[in-house]
Amino acid sequence: MTTQQPVEPVAAIVVAAGSGVRLGGGEPKALRLLGGESLVRHSVRAMVAGGCSRVVVVVAAGMEDRFAADLSDFPVTVVAGGKERQESVAAGLAALDPEPPFVLVHDAARPLVPVEVVDRVIEAVEDGATAVIPVIPVVDSIRQVTGEGSAVVDRAALRAVQTPQGFETAVLKLAHAHVAEQGIAVTDDAAACEALGREVVLVAGDVASMKITNPHDLALAAALAEQLAGANPS
């Protein structure tokens, strides 16, 4: 009689292979500290808190040992990514063995994602959605720049896209193979699924899940983290 290993329903890929040129500072962005801990540690903790028992962390080639040391107390596998985000996600997908039915893809650069957002994404994929993305309303007035000038865009119909995004793993693998084969560049994984003709389901994101991109984002996130810690003392 063979004993089958249980396959956990939801794994996560945390992409951390970006260089963080816009943030600056030399160090890989995902290892920069926020409230005394690296961005990647915050992000991995959020995935684990949401119920992911396995996390693949994708890092720049040559940085594997540093990330593995930083994350040694988490259930992670560290693998090398690529030049573009979509190549890094594809590398994370290739490392998911055995393949779980569902997978979340999260930016290490979104360290303060609340666990409620992770829960909403997981619930939607487990309820049958193929591709799920958290979104928030756009608060600024928006203009589209045209050849001649610019025009107002109705922001009521616009949403800003966050992570983690949730998928049926088999579909996300097909979608990544499709965009790679066709040479389609996408900035997120839901767009890869859409390129395959799959429907994308939206759930509510959260302003706390801001992406750390520019130096002022780190300062804002630090203030936010302090406020959140004050509101939920452990």
Ligand X SMILES: C[C@](O)(CO)[C@H](O)COP(=O)(O)O
Residues that bind ligand X (CB under 6 A): 85, 107, 161-163, 187-188, 211
> In this structure, are strands 76-80 and 55-59 parallel, antiparallel, or unpaired?
parallel
Cα 82 to Cα 73: distance, rounded to the nearest angstrom: 25
> Nearer Cβ to ligand CTP, position 107 or 168?
107
Radius of gyration of the chain (CA): 18
- Give the interface segment with ligand CTP, choosing from 5-13, 16-24, 173-181, 223-231 (CB under 6 A): 16-24
> Nearer Cβ to ligand X, position 84 or 126?
84
Residue number closest to ligand CTP, CB atom: 18
Per the listing, tokens 């107002």 go with 152
Q: By the 8 A CB rule, do 131 and 171 touch?
A: yes
Q: State which of positions 77-106 bind ligand CTP (CB under 6 A).
A: 81-85, 88
Q: How many residues of this chain bind ligand CTP (CB under 6 A)?
A: 23
> Nearer Cβ to ligand CTP, position 30 or 132?
30
Q: By the 8 A CB rule, do 12 and 117 touch?
A: no
Q: State which of positions 134-163 bind ligand CTP (CB under 6 A).
A: none
Decide: is 216 part of the binding site for ligand CTP (CB under 6 A). no
SS3 126: helix
Peptide bond into 98 cis (omega under 30): yes
> Nearer Cβ to ligand X, position 68 or 136?
136
**Phi, psi angle pair for 221, to nearest 5°:** -65, -35
Contacts with ligand CTP by CB under 6 A lie at 15-23, 29-30, 58, 81-85, 88, 107-109, 211, 213
